[in-house]
Amino acid sequence: MKDTCKQDLFRDVVTSLEQAGHNLCILHGYEGYPEDIGADVDAISEDPAQVPRILHKRRVASIVQAWHPETGGTYRLYRLHRQCNGRPVFLVLDLLTDYGREGHIFLKGKELLNTCKRFRFFNILAPELEFICYLVRRLMKGSLDEAQARSLSRLYSEEPAGCNAQLARFFPALEANLIADTAQNGEWEPIRYRIAHLRQAVLDKVRREQPLGALQYRLQYRLSRIRMRFEEVLRPPGLWVAFLGPDGSGKTTVAFRIEQDLASAFSSIKWYQRRPLGYSSWRWVMKKYREQYSSPPDRGLSAANAKVHRDEPLRGLFISLGKLGFWWAFSVLGHLVEIRPRLVDHTLVIFDRYFWDLLVYPDHYRYGGPLWLARFASRLIPRPHIVILLDAPPEVVQARKQEVPFEESARQREAYLKVLDGLSNGHVVDASRSLDEVVDEVERVVLGYMADRTARRLGLQGR
């Protein structure tokens, strides 16, 4: 049976916006909609800032991420989410008020919206306007493959006179005639050969006709990029999730499923399988300690599990305090140097274990100092956005892994629950259920947090 979750989400979004009287016009790539929707949906909107309020009010979908740099052709990106058949479905809306690229406005949004026509259940651009917009897009990107060239030829064949008029509007006569002939005969190699020249020609035309406007838009574009980056540094769009739980609770298995299901919601994913030791990326510091680590799993985890020292004696008081200070310093500095930059770059950071394991397994780390000091240090470390404790009765843990006695499994469970009691961002998930049920609850926690965070940033009231 074909999965219709994403197409249903797209249909509901378009329908809700139309019912609210919001004008929206899909720019390109719509031929396979709604059955085949790519990475994002590019559209012209009369006011992109209205879109989240409309969708929020009508409960169409949760908005888990939003980018809204103010440029000459204001654009906003919204990543929408909906649970369907026990898994998350995402749809990205890339909305423009005017058609612009790199600080240059080529076509005003009002002109585009006034000439839209109906295609299935949504609006698309008139063929000649879609032709020029798509051509400018490919020139600005500096690439044109065979499929894109065929799309341009198809659009040209639908309205040759209108396309010629648009070419004369944006290109000198010689270049306009060349593009028209190429679109007619379908041989786009001359355009690929001259793509840099044609890009400069269309930019020169815009700058000559709108000298002050082009300067203003480019200045706005540069400032908006700086402002957007500054906002990302202050409020990173990435997410940091830490998984806790004894061996046998399913941390790695659940985290791997989360990585698969949420990969499309982030630019990248970074793993750390970490106990309270340093980061593997700091090899220049940790070289002498690398022998204490086991080999990373085949999936390419960024740091290996700390070596467990069950049968070795505890370190002395002063060495233990020195180690505690070392672990704390690496947690703080590691966040500044390693974790936060990744969060700024829209990364999902996953930790399999974290500093709090020291409170649960002090003997495993040969820590012989006072536990109250370790608890105090744990309050001063950078905290993940979300901490997930995969909790299961000792009987379940023992059935999965029998590395420790039953009594030790029971003690570990109580110790982990005690750790979570002091964390406002902690969530206890029953890991004795099926994997699908556990993953579904964890994803609801993660995506719920993202939706609430985005709602606050957009001035909405919540999911």
Question: 395-402, long-range: CB within 8 Å, 24+ apart, which pairs?
Answer: 396/248, 396/431, 396/432, 397/246, 397/247, 397/248, 397/249, 398/248, 400/248, 400/249, 400/250, 401/247, 401/248
Verify cis geometry, omega within 30 degrees of 0, for the bond prior to 34.
yes
Give residue 217's pLDDT. 64
The closest of 355, 352, 90, 339 to 238, measured between CA atoms, is 339
First to last CA, the chain: 30
C-alpha to C-alpha distance for 76 and 19, rounded to whole angstroms: 21
pLDDT digits (tens, 9 = 90+) for 240-256: 999 999 888 889 899 99
Report residue 293: phi and psi, to 5°: -105, 145
Per-residue pLDDT tens digits of the chain, which is 463 residues long: 456 889 999 999 999 999 999 999 999 889 889 988 887 899 999 988 899 999 988 989 999 998 865 554 556 788 999 988 888 999 999 998 888 776 678 888 999 999 999 999 999 999 999 999 999 999 988 999 999 999 999 999 999 999 999 999 999 999 999 999 999 999 999 999 999 999 999 888 877 776 655 566 666 667 766 777 778 888 899 999 999 998 888 898 999 999 999 998 898 999 887 543 444 444 433 443 344 433 334 443 333 344 444 567 888 889 989 989 988 988 888 888 889 999 999 999 999 889 999 999 888 888 888 999 999 999 999 999 999 999 999 999 888 888 788 888 899 999 999 999 989 999 999 999 999 999 999 999 999 999 999 999 888 875 5
Write down the domain spans for the chain: 5-231, 238-432
Cβ contact 220:98 at 8 Å: no
C-alpha to C-alpha distance for 254 and 439, rounded to whole angstroms: 6
Question: Which amino acid would we find at residue 253?
Answer: T
CATH topology of domain 238-432: Rossmann fold (3.40.50)
Longest dimension (CA), the chain: 86
